[in-house]
Structure 1
Amino acid sequence: MAITTTILVTRLSALGDVAMTVPVMKQVLDENPEVRIIFVTNKNWGALCAGIPRLVFFPADVKGEHKGVPGLYRLFRSISRQYRIDAVADLHNVLRSKIVRTFFRLAGKPVAAIDKGRAGKKALTRKEDKVLQPQTSTIERYAMVFRQLGLRCTMGTQPVFAPRPLPERVLAVTGAKNTQPWVGLAPFATYREKMYPLAKLEMALAALIKDGTYRVLLFGGGKAEVAQLNELAARYPQAVSVAGRFTLEEELALISQLDVMISMDSANMHLASLYGVPVVSVWGATHPYAGFMGYGQSEQYAVQITDLTCRPCSVFGNKPCFRGDHACMEWIKPEQITEKVISIIR
């Protein structure tokens, strides 16, 4: 079927948030073969779009060329020169994306934007009189935007991508995968309130590799994280730090080969989810009820303290612990993590 409709999709944000858009856009394209999507996002995230027919990555540099209102206007003009946009799906609904969609609306294009459900999330995370109820997932909220534009989008749980072969540059570091299960360990997140104490996570790592049953690959990014993971790998030679060593495309191939990923409520949970890799996710200040569980992931693999009345205290983990003791993370035992990993692999 020939392409008759071109949809502009915007999500100018962090890697994990962008990764969650991919299953939805793939589903839209599968159910609407006449549609093409032009996906405007961070210039560094192009590898997420690879291998999906009719999904066109359009890089945005909001800290450089596309900074501020003049830059966003340049972005609008650049898109308009290259593509005839029929409608806009704003999956971000922040000031930048509102400005971009306004330019298209003034040009006569239909626009739909995500409803983030702020009232429900506020009730879920407030200090007093919490309403501890699951909110509509972010994945479903994305899907609703496309439905507003009259497109079919019925979400399932099937992996978006099949496992990818490992490039030679990766194999030179990891070696070939044999019968030994590979476990990814991604201990970091943007905020401390979303991170399990590294010393306790080290205990879980030691338990997993003590008899040589599992190969553990350490994931992270940024100079400080790379340094900490290299130190950890030096103490545990059966673990390999892959942090900062590969491109995003290479890292995705590596993630696709994992048997389990251990992750905080952060990007690596969402990257692993694209390949159907089970994730043992560790939750502290945030909660799966806020709608950010990885695509297709089971909540039974989530590790969290369920009897703390202060949880969750934040949607994104960006608020300091008002108790001051980070009990939501400190009370989690390392064996709670290792037991779930072992149960998944078995």
Structure 2
Amino acid sequence: MATSIWEEESHEFKLQSLTDDMVTSAEEMFGITFLDAYLAILKEQNGGRILYNAFPHSMAPVQYDAFIPVDHIKGIGLQNGILDNAYFLNEWDMPEGLILFSGDGHTWLAMDYRNIVSNPPIVYVDNEAEQITQVAGSFDEFLTKLSIEQSDACEEDGDAVEEYSEQDLERFIQQNKCDELVMALVHLSYTDVDVKWFGKRLQELSVHPSEVVRIEVARIIWGMTHQLEDPTLNRLLAHFEKDLESDVQLFADLIKEKMNYPFEKLREDVELTGMESFSYQGEIYHVNEHSNLWHLSDYQTDFQSYPTVGDLLENATINGKLLKEIWSQVKKV
């Protein structure tokens, strides 16, 4: 394995630099002690895309032959970090005690703290098969076994991982190259793409003949619900709800949950998990608890703090307006 596991380029999962206070707050929230090996790589870079794409194991999905795909590791933070763990456990009905550090919903890699508070093994979670399997005895072991593999699909094209432009996606749509189309969609969803342009392309592809393309479109829309305007989302949902593919319909339900997130549910969720995130007018905010206070935060700072979650929900403001007053314009992240 290389000295550093991280790719140099910026990525969706790359978060602000890790501090000791962030580690302490996260450990208090989860009630556990993080693995030294995990903290060591996060002190170099707090999450992001890694130089490897595979973890060899017999439990790998059939399409990947003998390895579990893994191309990123989550750092410690709210959006796209492990602090959104409770949301994914709830959405995919996974047991408490798993801390998910890489995955996409159907499958995950996780630190298994279900029965211990330190030195957990690493498990592979297959939600479709409803199986949780230990794949490494420690995070150190997991890191040492990471490798670079080519799937059969990549070998047919003669290339490994590639970067794609907006022009490439347009070309693949015109040429109806499904494999390249899906890879370009995934790549662009992780970049600083023109959201309005990307939304239009996703609308076109939401009725594509290939179920693989439609599922990927639905998954991407679920991930970027907070970035899209309601008219665009409603048009997409109209397509998804008519789709006969169950995975597309599942993502449609998840998108609707994000769009219609009741204020009353916010309180239930933050009291249960200790944090929640939402978007308002293009900005992302977080309600979270640490240092014995409840905070309303943006990406960089806790800009309002209260002794209880009730006080925060009653009195916190954004741009001079109470949360209740703006909630009809909010989307869950």
TM-score calculated relative to the size of structure 2? 0.24
Q: Which has the higher contact order (CA 8 A, sep 6+)?
A: 1
Which has more strand, going by share of residues?
2
